[in-house]
Amino acid sequence: MTTSDLQALPEAELVEHIATGRKDLFGLRFQHATGELENTAGLRSAKRDLARALTVARQREIDIPNRK
């Protein structure tokens, strides 16, 4: 998802996108650790997508729960 797409999302959908992105990234990391991940480029793109979403949330000053 591009930055402009993320900026157009309402607050609730952005928070949901971040939560989904974190779950997806966890799954990809787990697959990579167990050797099941075939496309390792997906790991990098998932990290970047999550970082973009978190940046937009921070710019809007949205409080993201369970942020580490």
pLDDT of amino acid 20: 96
Over range 61-68, report the average pLDDT: 79
The C-alpha angle with vertex 24 and arms to 19 and 29, in degrees rounded to 5, equals: 125
pLDDT of amino acid 65: 79
pLDDT of amino acid 1: 87
Is 39 a domain residue?
yes
DSSP at 38: S
How confident is residue 68, by pLDDT bands cut at 50, 70 and 90?
low
User: What does pTM read for this prediction?
Assistant: 0.89
Give me the CATH number covering residue 25: 1.10.287
Q: How many domains does the chain have?
A: 1
Is 66 a domain residue?
no
